A = this chain, B = another copy of it.
């Protein structure tokens, strides 16, 4: 089969012919319909410090990718829940059965959890094997480009809903206009956040934010703009109930704690390039009585259930966020678009099969 493979410990990747892997006893083989590009794939593509440490040269060659939708074509002999013909998407976090977190319903952040496309071959290919436990059966009518992005959409949803899901009628700031930030806007609008503020760097993306439901978009690069003051002004002077840090920028995090009202909630999702971040601990956390939730992955499978329901009922306006639908063979173009500054794209979905690609492109018209 064809697959986008990291072959050497250096920037780039290759489209190669590789063997289709045989599913183990507890695994399923999935024929890929659609697979989308995540920021993590870009890190690996660039072979940055994180990739060198986290994956390392010894494990190469490895197939990239983890956001995917496709059809189950073969299952191992111990597979119980999934069957051949099921239309599935894949949860990226592979839980370790012995982890305390797995036993406590937090398998998505288990101590020894593994990640598809990072710790094993991924989805930028015609076929993919994954353990049954991470297969999620999709609602039948959801087009593959939407089914594929359920994984980051789950990030956005979990980040917004936090640990309690109590968001109806609140005010929220979303820091960051990347694809997951934009999805968070669409979700926020669909689930009754009453005022949605978005900050970001790129006009193209902020424009999408408006299309999918933001009430206020604020350019994060504009030095003259007092974003904190604007949020406070439109929240009775108190600040927003909820702040989602989805940019990974220290400045955004610092502003976010100032935008948050006393007693509010902050979801920390974006990964900082420098992990050691100086926070105004006393005023931003202690005296503020803030709740902060570190968000990694999505709940398995509470978040998936909600996302599937929202997609199946057409409650989300995601079309403006899927900006590019391309063939798998055009992956270089896809990565180039992900790396372009200022960004002119949001979510990029690839199709290995040219006829499914054409159908998807027709749905966009």
Contacts and interface: CB of A to CB of B under 8 A. Distances in A.
Interface string A276-320: 111111110111111111111101111011110110110100000
A93 B82 CA distance: 22
Interface string A250-267: 000100000001110000
B100 A261 contact: yes
A323 interface: no
Contacts of A238: 99-101, 111
A228 interface: no
Interface residues of A, number: 83
Nearest to A297: B289
B168 A161 contact: yes
A124 to B, nearest CB: 24
A106 interface: yes
A299 to B, nearest CB: 8
A253 B294 CA distance: 16
A194 interface: yes
Given A100-B305, A109-B262, A290-B294, 18 more contacts: A78-B78, A101-B261, A103-B300, A106-B262, A163-B291, A164-B165, A165-B166, A168-B192, A168-B306, A169-B309, A190-B192, A194-B310, A270-B286, A276-B279, A277-B278, A279-B281, A287-B294, A292-B292
